[in-house]
Structure 1
Amino acid sequence: MKKTEIIIVGSGVAALQLARRLQDQFYVMIITKDKIESGNSYLAQGGIAAPLGRKDSVRAHLKDTLEAGRYHQDEDSVKQLIVDGKRIVETLVDEGAPFDRNKDGSLSLGMEGAHCEHRILHSGGDQTGKYLVKHLLKSLSGDKVAFVQGEMVYELVKDEMGRCCGVKTKDKDDAIRYYYAPHVVLATGGIGGLYPSTSNHPAVTGDGMALAFLAGAKLSDMEFIQFHPTLLWSNGKTCGLISEAVRGEGALLLNDLGERIMEGVDPLMELAPRHIVAECIYKERQKGRNVYLDISRIKDFQEKFPSISTLCFNHQISIGEGRIPVSPGCHFMMGGIVTDRVGRTNIPGLYAIGEVACSGIHGANRLASNSLLEGLVYGERLGEYLIHNGVSHSSHIHSSCPSLKEGEPLSISFQPHALKKGMMDYVGIIRNEEGLLTQLRWLKEQPLTFHELIDFNSREEIHTYFMWIVSLLVTESALLRTESRGGHIRSDFPNEDNDSWLKRKMILQNKEGRLRVEYHEQNETKIYA
């Protein structure tokens, strides 16, 4: 492979869609710290939302998305996502992507929480992510797309003009490698691994957000974290995702007294927005009661949900008994690196797409199955932008990058499990000032600072350091937003405050080793610290 022109960090749907769009024009390198399959896209059970049904419309999908996000989004951005997404999904259908179909050959469109219409495309029942990743991989050329697996990007390299021009990695033996390119794209996913209960792959811990923050990129909406209501609960811990599509097929949420716990909570009952269902299950479990998905009304469950059936079998949960024990867990980050409509950040040469980015479309709570749609849309958009704007800096990239040097030694004095426990206890599904201050004090007591140049002995230490950075950003943001909205629930501020917070965003940035927070609302900017 010739000199790399575009580096993509991450290997999920957004990354693969971008590489697919670029491969005819540029030499692309995809770097992933584990294997290609070790990410949330590959694990995704849920499908892709698109208004393809005869009764459906862009307007209806837009309304559902805004409602789920509690109107914290940019409406024009959401509408364009759905318009572009519908076109892209129709293209995938035309090229033979393996979406499930009805007996008459028509697309099988499922229902999920907070949707007003059946508009969810699935593959393999509950294996959409796996099938979609494989479909995108098949379309990539080996001539112009190279994969580097098992290397962790731990630093973004910038030239003397402040432009991102490459990355530093460590392999599994902690050997350091350097890669240069005029364009670097972060597509590293979310932060689920910061919590002990999560649907995410354990490797997904916010690396891209930490990398961008250390390099001076802006982040926002870090307080908005979606906890999926239904993870399998077995032997005192969560063990994997039970897709919302199960409730879409008619499963009920019962406690161990046989009561429907969503009665009187929301008119949509089990199909209410995720933050409402997750909060309800959490409160039920806080009372000491177990919560179950009653699947007895679903015919041919194993055929419709093969991976969930296997998951239950592996954890000795009998599908035949008709009840699956569930508990909430961290699922999706609505916030992240601030980007424009094509994925550009405030750092020249640095881009972000997919869950790692904050593009203004998810608001305070993501609508179910809009995430794979986002990856497809922004992967294509950024590809179009780079194709039309070229790689003008490629001829000078090596000479303009600085000579690399090591940073000051830093040490980790805590174990990741201690951080995860604090995040779940104090920055989890329901938050309050006392708990948030407790976690923030603990985080700030650690002998760590924001250093762009990182000098750790091992990947494990870097990994933990990145977890500390992102946890601090989440906790600080959750403390500052004094309302409840979407995935951010404050017991001491239980209501939405539309007068103060509806469109208000906090922009977090690393300024000379210190966290700076700005409030942005329309054209107004206020500096907090």
Structure 2
Amino acid sequence: MREPDILIVGGGLAGLFCALKLAPLPVAVLTAAPIGEGASSVWAQGGVAAAVSEGDSPELHARDTANAGAGIVDNEVALSVAREARARVEDLLRFGAPFDRDAAGRLAPSQEAAHSARRIVRVKGDGAGAAIMQALIAAVRRTPSITVHENFVAEDLIVQNGRIAGAFARDAAGVLRAFPARATVLASGGVGGLYAVTTNPAQASGAALAFAARAGARIADAEFVQFHPTAIDIGRDPAPLATEALRGEGAVLVDRTGRRFMPALHRDAELAPRDIVARGVFAEIAAGRGAFLDATEAVGTNFAEKFPNVAASCLAAGIDPSLQPIPVAPAAHYHMGGLWTDGRGRTSLPGLWAAGEAASTGLHGANRLASNSLLEAVVFGDRVARDIAAALPALPALKSAHAPGQPERRDPEGAAEIRRIMSRHVGVLRDEAGLREALRALCRLRGRALAEGSMDLRNRAEAALLIAASAFLRRESRGGHFRTDYPASDPAQARRSFITLDEALRAAHGVVASEAA
């Protein structure tokens, strides 16, 4: 195969699906870990949201998406994605995804929070992500037009004549290499690794958010971080997940005395939107009462059969979930924000597309509806592929690029400090004083990164600054963004947010200057 004209950064569902949809066009895929090991998609337990059952419809799915998104979902995007859902599920079936079926051979979707119908197409209860990825990885390995470069961590973009022309990435030995491309797709996941407690792999540290913003990309909805309410609280990093499907099957949240606490907080109790459940769990833990997911009655002795991944995590920690409640805590799980894209996956920078969690398409609004993430990954993976295939003949010819000869410099202490700052001040609950402290500290750490020449720390600090500055500027509570000093939603702020790195730095420097005055 000739040198690929197309570069995809990220080996999760969005990246691999896009690569497969681009075949037979030559594509290079960069993965930060061995393929299938470092992607959040592998760990996804719920499934793909799609209106496949009798009585359900894309219109109902879009309505539920808008309701969960707390007033800022792009309704046209939501409806178009819901309408494409079934076709993308059919694509996944053709690639070999073994979705659950009933005795008659029909897809057997499950229920999840804030969905008005059973529409989560899943695999063996909690194994959708791993099973889908296994099927796609096999398909990628059978496709000669796709070249996978494993253990390459993207650090920056190549910019030529005002357009994106590829990326710089570092291999496992610390050597920086240029990957020039006529079309570049960022599908590198989210920002969970910026938080002390997360369900995301370590590679999900928001680097693409930072280096795309450095190149001038427009960032959307960065303040909206979804905290999964039921990460299994057993001291592991990343924290294993107790899938929302458990609550869909009737599991309840209780304190250490066995008292249910969600019915007093929302009419849908455990099936309320995730931000509400996460704050409920957070409050119980903060009050010293603890929080536990009790599936002993709803699932009971069938637990290991229905939810094998959750069962394995619990049993490894000495907890039998068929007999004991599972200790849980909120964990950074999904970023509704990311690189702004249009309906085709194009970012604000020519030559650059984005898909999956790295993108912000307007689908999720302020609070992602359960299992819409895998759906968005395949819908926009397909859209990006179609748009690039149509645009490629008109794109400028490929030019060579040389990586700067800078050695790898890491600062694990600085990275750990960012995780503490983000969890303490830009987490489930936020306020002005804490956000000011976060902006001051992140500015200091960015300065340290620049002085040390640590691109890893710089990317982490700048990604965190984009989130913290957006949270500082939104003086209300909405979805995954909750300000204790502005606890109500403000109708005047019922709109998406947009920010550039320069704007985030101005906000942060303004805080620093005001404190020094």
Question: 1:104 Cα deviation (Å)?
Answer: 3.4
Change in Cα spacing, 1:178 to 1:487, as seen in structure 2 (3 Å) is: same
Among 481, 484, 501, the alignment partner of 2:477 is 484
Q: Contact 1:413–1:446 at 8 Å: present in 2 too?
A: no
Change (3 A) 1:238 1:216: closer
> C-alpha distance in 1, partners of 2:359/2:234?
33
Q: Deviations over 1:452-471 (max 9, x none)?
A: xx984xxxx43222111111
- What is the deviation of 1:112? 0.6
Q: Aligned pair 1:495/2:496, yes or no? A: no
Q: In the alignment, does 2:379 pair up with 1:387?
A: no
Which structure has greater helix proportion?
A: 2
The structure 1 residue matched to 2:461, chosen from 463, 468, 478, is 468
Q: Residues 231, 504 of structure 1: CA spacing in aligned structure 2 closer, same or farther, 3 A cutoff?
A: closer
Match of 1:351 in 2: 353
CA RMSD in angstroms comes to 2.3
Q: Where do residues 39-438 of structure 1 align in structure 2 (5 Å cutoff)?
A: 39-93=39-93, 97-140=97-140, 141-159=142-160, 161-235=161-235, 239-297=239-297, 298-299=299-300, 300-393=302-395, 396-398=397-399, 405=404, 414-438=413-437
Q: More deviation in 426-435 or 227-236? A: 227-236
CA distances 1:381-419 after superposition (whole Å, capped 9, x unpaired): 11111222224346x3226x5x65568999959532221
For 1:219 and 1:16, the matched residues in 2 are separated by 23
Deviation at 1:503, TM superposition (A): 1.4
Q: Secondary structure at the match of 2:233?
A: strand
Length-normalised TM-score, structure 1? 0.90
Aligned counterparts of 1:189 and 1:207: Cα–Cα separation in 2: 9
Q: What one-letter code is carried by the residue in structure 2 that aligns with 1:145?
A: I
Q: CA deviation at 1:237?
A: 7.7
One-letter identity of the residue aligned with 2:137: L
Give percent identity, aligned residues only: 35
Q: State the one-letter code of the partner of 2:315.
A: F
Deviation string 1:113-158 (CA, Å, 9 cap, x unpaired) is: 1111111011132110111112222323442100000111111111
Contact 2:224-2:335 within 8 A present in 1 as well? yes
Q: Is the 8 A contact 1:49 1:369 kept in 2?
A: yes
- CA-CA distance at 1:290 after TM superposition: 1.2
Secondary structure in 1 matching 2:116:
coil
Deviating more after overlay: 221-230 vs 115-124: 115-124
Counterpart of 1:433 in structure 2: which amino acid? E
CA contact (8 A) 1:509 1:516 kept: no
Q: SS at the partner of 1:29? A: strand
SS state at 2:500 partner? strand
1:35 deviates by 1.5
Q: 1:410 to 1:320 in 2, by over 3 A?
A: closer
Question: What is the alpha-carbon distance in structure 1 between the residues aligned to residue 392 and residue 134 of structure 2?
Answer: 28
- 1:214-253 per-residue CA deviation (whole Å, 9 max, x = no partner) reads 1111101110000000011125987311000011111010
| Equivalent residues of 1:270, 1:277 under 8 A apart | yes
| Alignment check: 8 A CA contact 1:229 1:328 kept | yes
Unaligned runs of 5+ in 2: 509-517
Q: Please state how far the C-alpha of 1:296 moved relative to its aligned partner.
A: 1.2
Distance 1:409 1:464 in 2: 11
Q: Identify if the C-alpha distance between structure 1 residues 264 and 409 changes in structure 2 by more than 3 Å, giving closer, same or farther.
A: closer
- Local SS of the residue matching 1:363: coil
Report the equivalent of 2:442: 443
Q: Is the 8 A contact 1:182 1:391 kept in 2?
A: no
Where 2:67 maps in the other structure, the secondary structure is: helix
**Is the Cα contact below 8 Å between 2:42 and 2:133 reproduced in 1?**
yes
Structure 2: distance between partners of 1:13 and 1:207:
18
Q: CA deviation at 1:63?
A: 1.0
Q: In the alignment, which residue of structure 2 is the partner of 1:27?
A: 26
TM-score by length of 2: 0.92
Cα offset, 1:373, TM superposition: 0.2
Unaligned runs of 5+ in 1: 518-529
Which residue identity lines up with residue 158 of structure 1 in the other structure?
V
Q: Distance in 2 between matches of 1:92 and 1:409?
A: 38
- How far apart are 1:71 and its partner, in Å? 1.8
| Structure 1 counterpart SS, 2:239 | strand
Inter-partner Cα distance in structure 2 for 1:274 and 1:496:
17
Number of aligned residue pairs: give it. 504
- Please tell me whether the aligned partners of residues 411 and 447 of structure 1 are also in contact (alpha carbons under 8 angstroms): no
Deviations for 1:333-387, whole angstroms, at most 9, x for unmatched residues? 0011011111111111111111001111100000000000000000101111122
Measure how far apart 1:280 and its partner are.
0.5
The amino acid across from 2:381 in the alignment is G
Q: In structure 2, the residue corresponding to 1:82 is in which secondary structure?
A: helix
Against the structure 1 CA distance between its residues 68 and 414, is the aligned structure 2 distance closer, same or farther, given a 3 Å change threshold? same
Whole-angstrom CA distance in 2 between matches of 1:455 and 1:291: 42
The code of the aligned residue for 1:508 comes to T
| Contact persistence 1:406–1:455 (CA under 8 A) | no
Check conservation: 1:450, 1:514, Cα contact below 8 A: no
Partner residue of 2:12? 12
CA drift of 1:507 comes to 2.4
Q: Which residue number corresponds to residue 511 of structure 2?
A: none
Q: Counterpart of 1:360 in structure 2: which amino acid?
A: G
Give the direction of change, closer, same or farther, for the CA distance of 1:411–1:118 in structure 2 (3 Å limit): closer
Give the C-alpha shift of residue 421 in structure 1: 1.0
Structure 1 equivalent of residue 513 of structure 2:
none
Query: Which one is further off, 416-425 or 404-413?
Result: 404-413
Q: CA distance change for structure 1 residues 283 and 455 in 2, over 3 Å: closer, same or farther?
A: closer
Q: 1:405 to 1:258 in 2, by over 3 A?
A: closer
Q: Distance between the aligned counterparts of 2:86 and 2:240, measured in 1?
A: 29
Contact 1:409 1:455 (8 Å CA) reproduced:
no
Question: What SS is found at the alignment partner of 1:275?
Answer: helix
Secondary structure of the corresponding residue to residue 164 of structure 1: strand
Secondary structure in structure 2 of the residue aligned to 1:199: coil
- Secondary structure at the counterpart of residue 475 of structure 2: coil
Q: 2:469, 2:507 within 8 Å by CA — same for their partners in 1?
A: no
Which residue in 1 is equivalent to 2:512? Answer: none
Distance 1:137 1:439, change over 3 A: same
Partner of residue 515, structure 2: none
Matched position secondary structure for 1:147: strand
